[in-house]
Amino acid sequence: MPSETSSGGPGESGPVAQPPAGSGLEPTLPVAAVARRLGIAPATLRTWDRRYGLGPTGHTTGRHRRYATADLARLELMRRALLKGAAPAEAADYALRVSADPTALVDLELPDPHAIPAQTRSGGPPRPPSPGPVDAAPRVRALARAVLAMDDPAVSTALSGALAEHGVIWVWDELVVPVLAAVGVGWTSPAATGTEVAHLLAECVLTEVVRATPPVRGEPRVLLCGAPGEPYALPLYVARAALAQRGVPVRMLGAALPVGALANAVRRTSPAAVAVWAQATAHAEPKALRAVPATRPRPRVLACGPGWAAAGLSPTVEHLPGVGDTVERVDALSSGAAHSPGE
């Protein structure tokens, strides 16, 4: 397998900036990597910075833009507000308000994009609104209110009801991720204010997702694990639950799997695919992917999670940035439709 070294050049398209060991600083991402992660153009990021002040907090004139975790959280809030139908200025104001005070998430009131008259979208004549996705805003407000109050029974009740009604992926994408982004804005260390709120939400999500995971018969053809040093395993449990609900068994090895243990597990189980999750760029180490042995049949290597966005992956490695993407690909590989011996 070719080496997964970073191929980015200098400047805004360069690799992740790794701070000196022991400095207490976190890695940052350049414009190109952030744009890939959000699914927007680099020029859009620069426009959001210039017009709305949503650029990297540490950026000064004459320096290339590099985005930290808090900056990414603000941008994710902006993107989700736009997807809900807000105008760019409204979405930016919302993202800035929530980043300054996560309790603003409770007061989220965004227009329903399916209720916007057609002439405001395309200039044509008005049309009756067509049925669309469920409006998540009321549930987001309810979950945010319970989380910020540290009312874990209410958090669990909100999650279990949404899971039963809409499924694991919808709950993750539409409820959990927006609330985590809001309460996580501005964290720079484990002692930062708000960490206890996110931990409470994560524990409640884990409990309810495990409860929603049905037993699955059959030999697992896919191995799920966290990248070495990656302690954030919650997306793996969400993916496993969604796959179990589809009847797809997987072998789950949890967070922060050492490189040697990953290689041993692949040799012992000969999976069709190996999915390695990295939430943070600091834990997206390509050496973990290179350590996957070429058993027969050779497993597909899936770099899952947003942390791999700037890792300079080999063409033989598939990057799946989200939980939903991971579930769809693993489902296909498990069925054998996208895997052939010797690949």
Domains, the chain:
19-113+136-187+194-211 (1.10.1660.10), 222-335 (3.40.50.280)
Chunk the chain into consecutive blocks of 10 residues (it has 343) and report each block's average pLDDT, rounded to whole numbers: 34 42 56 77 82 75 71 80 72 80 61 37 34 65 86 94 93 86 52 69 94 92 92 92 94 93 93 91 86 86 86 86 91 66 40
User: Is the bond preceding 297 in cis, omega lying within 30 degrees of 0?
Assistant: yes
pLDDT for res 139: 85
Is 124 strand, coil or helix? coil
Q: How many angstroms separate the CA atoms of 331 and 320, rounded?
A: 13
For residue 40, count CB atoms less than 10 angstroms from its CB and return exposed for 0-12, middle for 13-18, buried for 19 or more.
middle
199 CB-near residues (< 8 Å, 6+ apart): none
At residue 298, the pLDDT reads 86
HEC string of 252-280?
ECCCCCCHHHHHHHHHHHCCCEEEEECCC
pTM for this model (two decimals)? 0.68
Name the E strands within 173-241. 222-226
pLDDT at 112: 43
What is the distance in angstroms between the CA of the first residue and the CA of the last residue of the chain? 12
What is the DSSP code (8-state) at residue 214? -
Supply 281's token pair.
């760029």
Distance CA 297, CA 191 (A): 46
121, 111 contact by CB (below 8 A) = no
Across the strands, what pairs with 69?
Answer: none
Residues 6+ apart with CB under 8 A from 127: 118
- Alpha-carbon distance of 42 to 14, in angstroms, equals 13
Beta strands in the chain, from DSSP E residues, in sequence order:
29-30, 66-67, 222-226, 251-252, 273-277, 300-304, 317-320
**Token digits of residue 89:** 């200025």
Q: Which amino acid is at 325?
A: D
